[in-house]
Amino acid sequence: MAVTQLSEQSVLEALSTVQDPELHRPMMELKMIQDVAVVDAATIGMRVVLTTPACPLKNKIHDDIDAALATLPGSPKAQIKWDAQVSRTGGVPQKQQVPGVKNILSVGAGKGGVGKSTCAVNIALALSQLGARVGVLDADVYGPNVPILLGAEHEKPYAENEKIIPIQRYGLKIISIAFFIEPDKPAIWRGPMLSGAVRQFLFDVNWGELDYLVVDLPPGTGDVQLTMSQSIPMTGAVVVSTPQDVSTADVGRAIQMFNTLKVPNLGLVENMSYFVCPHCGQRDDIFGHGGAKTLAERMNIPFLGEIPLDRRIREGGGPGVPLMVHEPDSPLAAVYRDVASHLAAQVSIRNFKQASVIPLRTI
């Protein structure tokens, strides 16, 4: 078949039927399919611009495009150049945008000891490894563990042009109260002091251009959560739980808090979900199983995934070397990438829905 038998117009008409599987709108209409060209009788070249480099449905999109092209003479295949443009959370009246930061994702928990900070760090690393520009703000002023988890506890930020320059580690930009207080000294602060510190870390830090700023919140429902919710247009919150009833009860209160503060709940993660014996391969639900997923269904929020109880997550590659850095190709790392991809998809869905109500400024 001659190339001339396959017109660009017929290709565009075929592609107009392809919908984004998360947004449920035609990808051509959303300008997610660009630079379409007939390469030869068997190949159609194009650029597909995803809403996040962490898109969990890239393979489905490719299959849907090939299925649409299969309706054309000769059933040509797609030759895709993948690209991404992370969507931005829209402005909210009376709330100040953090310069250069497209999305602010708060990671919280109803109680301490559920692995919230470890989840926040490894999810941030997963997003970065998938191609996004990511920062981490350690807002857990009472237990600032992020520098320890990333091997940056001895670093000291400096100021330049009246802005704090964040520490960089493993592709992440990091700020924590731990950088500014003496080791082993507790932060005994009242609400106004906490609010001032959080605002300084948001607005007096040169974050540069970030797709996602992951904020590790203190456990519970306190002043830091209130300051974050009232000060900035947060994209949404991720809540970490373990399977036990006592944990999910506390998490339910945290979810209700975000609802009250009008912060979208982007999803729930079940940490320490199960244990697989490294010797015999038998699975053991040490703390029970499925409590977080059941809670997510009951409260009508997304369930982002289950993270197993595994000492390699705690140990990583040694002090300050997280699992996502030490074993990026391991099945455990794939679990975090899956959670991060589902989270990124929820961000894209949230921003798309918001954009249909509140006009966004041009990116």
- Tokens 């082993």 found at: 184
Structure confidence at residue 362 (pLDDT) = 33
Strand 236-241 vs strand 33-40: parallel, antiparallel, or unpaired?
unpaired
Structure confidence at residue 76 (pLDDT) = 95
Structure confidence at residue 238 (pLDDT) = 94
Tokens coding 191: 């609400």
For residue 262, give the 3-state DSSP assignment.
Answer: coil
* pLDDT tens string 47-100: 999 999 999 999 999 999 999 999 999 999 999 999 999 988 876 666 788 899
Q: How many other C-beta atoms are found inside a 10 Å radius of the C-beta of residue 162?
A: 7
Confidence of residue 267 (pLDDT cuts 50, 70, 90): very high
Structure confidence at residue 185 (pLDDT) = 62
**How many residues would you count in the chain?**
363
CA–CA gap between residue 270 and residue 159 (Å, rounded): 39
Residues in contact with 48: Cβ distance below 8 Å, sequence separation at least 6, in sequence order: 27, 32, 33, 34, 61, 65, 80, 81, 82, 83
| Structural domains in the chain plus CATH codes | 3-84 (3.30.300.130), 104-355 (3.40.50.300)
* pLDDT tens string 108-135: 887 778 889 999 999 999 999 999 999 9
What number is the average pLDDT over the span 298-314? 91
* pLDDT tens string 159-176: 999 999 999 999 999 999
What number is the average pLDDT over the span 17-25? 94
CA–CA gap between residue 322 and residue 328 (Å, rounded): 10
288 pLDDT more than 70: yes
Report the C-alpha dihedral over residues 282, 286, 290, 291, rounded to 10 degrees.
Answer: 180
Of 209, 258, 225, 250, the residue nearest 139 (C-alpha): 225
Of 261, 20, 255, 251, the residue nearest 113 (C-alpha): 251
Q: Tell me the average pLDDT of the chain.
A: 87
CA–CA gap between residue 237 and residue 267 (Å, rounded): 7
What number is the average pLDDT over the span 331-348? 95
3 pLDDT more than 70: no
Q: What predicted TM-score, i.e. pTM, was given to this entire model? A: 0.89
CA–CA gap between residue 146 and residue 80 (Å, rounded): 38
Tokens coding 150: 């990333």
What number is the average pLDDT over the span 186-197? 64
- Tokens 């429902």 found at: 221
CA–CA gap between residue 248 and residue 246 (Å, rounded): 6
Chain-centre distance for alpha carbon 299? 21
Contact of 270 with 292, CB cutoff 8 Å: yes
189 pLDDT more than 70: no
* pLDDT tens string 27-59: 999 999 999 999 998 999 999 999 999 999 999
Q: What are phi and psi of 276, to 5 degrees?
A: -110, 120
Structure confidence at residue 2 (pLDDT) = 43
Q: Sign of dihedral through CA atoms 46, 48, 53, 58? A: negative
Q: What are phi and psi of 269, to 5 degrees?
A: -115, 130
Structure confidence at residue 96 (pLDDT) = 80
Single-letter code of the amino acid located at 261 = L
